[in-house]
Structure 1
Amino acid sequence: MWMEKIEVEPPYNFDRVLERMSLDPLNVVDLYNHKVKVPLYDASKQPFVVEVKAIGRTFTIIGEDESQRSHALSEVSRIFGWNVPLSIINSHFRQTNLAALFEEHAGTPLVLDFQVYNCLMKCFIHQQLNIKFAYVLTERFVRTFGFEIDGVPFYPSADTVAGLHYEQLTDLQFSRRKAEYIIDTARKIVQNEINLEQLETMTDKEVLEKLIKVRGIGAWTVQNVLLFGLGRPNLFPVSDIGLQNAMKRFFTLENKPAKEEMDALSEGWSPYLSYASLYLWRSIE
């Protein structure tokens, strides 16, 4: 067993992170003890779990296999945004019409899905569903076809999903079209028509041009993959209903804002539009 301690620069509020993560029933979160178990894959694609716990701004990461330590530390730092200076982002938004929101939710980082693949699968499932049923459907998918280590669920691999029949998903209350999107995309990943690792080195525009060609992937899905899969800092998915509702509430608008109004209100938020999106979503969760 190994253990590593890391100090994170303020402001960083891990309790806010855990509160948001606890909304997803697949995340193994312990709010009382300020910790979460994280499913990872090592360099040889073997799954393993680490525990991340915080006392103040000091994080303790615990794992089993010493050979996985370096990779695990890199991954949890990426996932939890430990290398992103939130103080700079907060200072930026103090000069904007979101100043009050960033003060209320100060220290909330952009936390990524554990793998880009998970993010893509989750986006397919969440398309055009209310959030409650989306979580139910995602949990059915993972617990039916995935696996667990130390009580931590892992998404079914692309190889596993590629081997499914559409009816195996429709039996779980997936629509036929959504079942096709998920399984067909997994097959493209297995056949290397889609290389998710290459997305890391692409620009936002290149990722959009690559993924938008895949059946079932629209602008909303690409933006969410960029935001929560790749951690890009300047995404503002104007077609997202939750974001529209959050802006309506925060700016006390009579109706949900149209794209033009959202563009006008968000002037000055760049280059941190992703954080504006996150804080607005957080305001209505």
Structure 2
Amino acid sequence: MERTINTFSRESFHQICDELAWRDKELATVMRNYGYPPMWTRSNSFESLVHIILEQQVSLASALAALNKLKEKIVEIIPENVLALSDEELRACYFSRQKTVYVKHLAQVLADKKIDLNHLPLLPDEEIRKILNQLKGVGNWTIDVYLMFVLQRTDIFPVGDLAAVNAFKKLKGLPADTTKEQLIAIARSWGPYRTVATMLLWHYYLSLRTKS
């Protein structure tokens, strides 16, 4: 049976936000207080995947600093250019030992054409998850961000994302010890637009940080 692939676009993004606000009074409060969230997007490229890997468990500013340092070094972030660097050169670009391994592995896989990024948009979410999960250092959070930012899949809730989870608990007045399973169950009410609901949560989180 062929599965439907649901994506959102700049044309549909605000309409989906409006629908979520109509369905959920707390999300409506976010919209009322802070307006529409940015529609965070990235290109379907090796560079975008490197960027997401760099963002694992560090601040967004630290990840961007490493990405920009790499860009200074090799200009074009493509697999062949990364594979030409030594581990020491990557470490000089603020890459940790682990992330050096992950990014070089990704570069090799793409250079060997074992994964074709251009083919992934044609596949359903779970098939993409199986393919990318085989890569070193690529787990569910990395795949969630790829599906949300790069492929604009509509119904992803990244339960491993600390900012989204903390914003969710604060917005809904949930106890600090609310489990991931409970959050996933509550987030089902946002389907089939959990990605856009999460972008509203991030918008709320970032807006509160800006105010404080």
> Which category of TM-score, normalised to the shorter sequence, fits these structures?
0.7 to 0.9
Structure 2: 5+ residue stretches without partners: 1-7, 207-212
**AA in 2 matched with 1:104:** N
**AA in 2 matched with 1:130:** S
Deviations 1:54-101 (A, max 9, x none): xxxxxxxxxxxxxxxxxxxxxxxxxx9333252244124312242222
The answer for the alignment partner of 1:163 in structure 2 is: 84
Q: 1:105 deviation in Å?
A: 4.1
The answer for the alignment partner of 1:84 in structure 2 is: 12
Q: 1:109 deviation in Å?
A: 5.1
Distance (whole Å) between structure 1 residues aligned to residue 121 and residue 34 of structure 2: 28
Structure having the larger proportion of residues in strand: 1
- TM superposition score normalised by structure 1: 0.64
Q: 1:253 deviation in Å?
A: 3.4
1:220 and 1:240 in contact (8 A); partners too: yes
Which SS does the other structure have where 1:172 is aligned? Answer: coil
**AA in 2 matched with 1:271:** P
Q: Which shifted more, 92-101 or 222-231?
A: 92-101
With over 3 angstroms needed to count, the CA separation of the structure-2 counterparts of 1:109 and 1:174, relative to structure 1, is closer
Q: 1:125 deviation in Å?
A: 0.7
The answer for the alignment partner of 2:106 in structure 1 is: 185
Report 1 or 2 for greater relative contact order, CA contacts < 8 Å, sequence distance ≥ 6: 2
Counterpart check, 1:132 vs 2:61: yes
**AA in 1 matched with 2:23:** Q
Q: 1:272 deviation in Å?
A: 0.5
Q: Give the structure with higher Rg (CA).
A: 1
1:159 and 1:190 in contact (8 A); partners too: yes
How many equivalent residue pairs? 198
Structure having the larger proportion of residues in helix: 2
Deviations 1:1-37 (A, max 9, x none): xxxxxxxxxxxxxxxxxxxxxxxxxxxxxxxxxxxxx
With over 3 angstroms needed to count, the CA separation of the structure-2 counterparts of 1:135 and 1:96, relative to structure 1, is same
Distance (whole Å) between structure 1 residues aligned to residue 49 and residue 178 of structure 2: 27
With over 3 angstroms needed to count, the CA separation of the structure-2 counterparts of 1:195 and 1:256, relative to structure 1, is farther
Deviations 1:127-150 (A, max 9, x none): 11123322222222222222xxxx
1:215-226 alignment, distance < 5 Å: 215-226=136-147
Q: 1:102 deviation in Å?
A: 3.2
4+ runs of 1 displaced by more than 3 Å?
102-109
Counterpart check, 1:270 vs 2:187: no
2:164 and 2:205 in contact (8 A); partners too: no
Structure 1: 5+ residue stretches without partners: 1-79, 147-154
1:244 and 1:257 in contact (8 A); partners too: no
